[in-house]
Structure 1
Amino acid sequence: MNFATRAVHAGLEPDPTFRSVIPAIHQTSTFAQPAVGEFVEDFDYARSANPTRAALESALGELEGGLASSFSSGMAATHALLSAVCAAGDHLVLPNDLYGGTYRLVDKVLTRFGLTYTLVDQADPGAIVAALTEKTRLVWIESPTNPLLNVVDLREEIATVGGRAFVAVDNTFATPVNQRPLELGADAVVHSVTKYLGGHSDTVGGAVIVKDPAVHEQVRFIQNSVGAVPGPFDCFLVHRGLRTLHLRMAAHAASAEAVVGFLKSAPAVEDVRWPGFSGMVSFRHPDAIGIAQRTRLFTLAESLGGVESLIEVPQAMTHQSVEGSDAAVPADLVRLSCGVEAPEDLVADLRRAIGAGA
């Protein structure tokens, strides 16, 4: 089946009791046991497993081509994967253009427990090779990156590592509609499902999808031990979002294409970036803050990937944690998350916001 068909049907099995087409929301903390130590499948306590969460994990695994675990946020997912794969003394290779929250987790938290890291220009395979050491356990890749929207050749990057380290790819911006890293040889994919997978800015969650069953068991162990799991209703919302993912991503891309067409000739706008898919666009302008505060359709807010359009200034908002590091972003950078509104209305909003400050 092609992706659109799989997106609609992934993880959907009729309810075994009442045959409802959409799985029930199992809003419960625990499950009755027929006898001491006996329970149905994995369902003894909702931190360990929940049928609603299991349905979402089945769907995520099917769409990315691996074994999925769900978490209460994208950062919880990232933490779980790093905790499952790495140990004290291990070395990480990270892109120097990465999400500020990932940098903060590694630099401010995990280094206290003996992890070390090197920031590299991941667009240069030679830089990755040069950074690898005998202690390198994991190479982290973002493509497109957050917030500069650099795109790398995943197949080439993974081949460059050549099995010398575990390769994890943050696929939040691209989604499996546009790229499936596990099929290209990556060992793991991480998502903030808060973004495009959920798609409606109404829930927070994360996911880890891996190829190796042994690594999957390690991630599940961390999931249960730490307990950063999503609630049933959050799982239901994300699963519902997956069923229109292919349609929404096409609409996001159409909006972004129109916006980019305008920005490339807009006054004082420089360095317009769009990966050619998805709804993420960035540009630089000396009045970045003013533009962000003058838009009307583009809501000034952090996050991305919802059906409504958002605008932010990363240096002052989502990426403050990287200030002073090699991952710092320009103060004049504007990041757009183009939603699924009429593209011409989004262009008009930006034209007014940019022109009003001239």
Structure 2
Amino acid sequence: MSQAAAAGETQRLSEDDVQAIDRLRDAYQGLRSELAKVIVGQQDTIEQLAICLFARRHALLMGVPGLAKTLLVSKLAETLSLKFHRIQFTPDLMPMDITGTDILQDTADGRREMQFVKGPVFANIVLADEINRAPPKTQAAMLEAMQEQNVTVLGKEFRLESPFMVLATQNPVEQEGTYPLPEAQLDRFMSLIELDYPNEEEEIQIARTTTGGALPDLQHLMSAEDIIAHQDLVRRVPVPDHIYTYAARLVRKTRPGGETAPDWLMPLVSWGAGPRAVQNLILGAKSRAALEGSYMVRLEDVQHVAPAVLTHRLITTFAAQAEKVTAREIVKRLVDETQE
């Protein structure tokens, strides 16, 4: 794209928005520094969480136990002055255990009436721990809250506060007795964030940090109102036409049998990503651009968020699983092959 075209795109932002992006970039750097006081490593995870938060989307965290997923999410909520709830999903968990229910209460004048008691989903950041352990009916109640930002209890609707973000975790090791999320429900999550083991130096630092005194309290860097304003700002980040084209071409290449799908894809993928993937690629790229202090979306922003956005939307074949070819590897190859 020419410099003139780039300048034209940048001019869509007002001077106030340019200054707001600078403030968001500085606040994000402060957030990373603050979380580093209690979280060792996991910088990529922190970035992906921030991208989802400011894009008003939800994320699926995949990692073995002991990688500080709960600690990371709770400290993220602490630094952002947000209300945090953790829900441990179990096979006997019922929808009302998440949404809340009506109970009979005595009033001050001696009468008895039904009163709604809010469940743990009424928070700004909700950690749905091991969501695949709950039965489908309970998962559906959680996903309604994610999609509609409200819950329905006994025919009455209750609106959830903004900002609202669900972070669901799945244990990739033990799948016995679980209810894996269907592909249509996985599609509701913007990103799949995979957590890996720390390296040796980080593991030593973790041992030093967690076996001493109490963890430090973190500063409150933003308010809920600040976050909502930043989320609105992310939506206004301009996107050049060629970036929209690139995102659409990349997603269309994931669909085996399509006109633009490479020949090597057919034996490896049985189902590709849908239109929601294009939306999330653009939103994720907008969010990353703003966090990086860029006044417009760049190609590198789309390429950076593509693995997290596309990996859980590809259904690999038995042949791919037999050859140990992962969906993330397929996405990486597609990104490398897709031109502007």
Report the TM-score, using the length of structure 1 for normalisation.
Answer: 0.31
Whose relative contact order is higher, 1 or 2, with alpha carbons under 8 Å and at least 6 apart?
2
Task: Name whichever structure is richer in helix by fraction.
Answer: 2
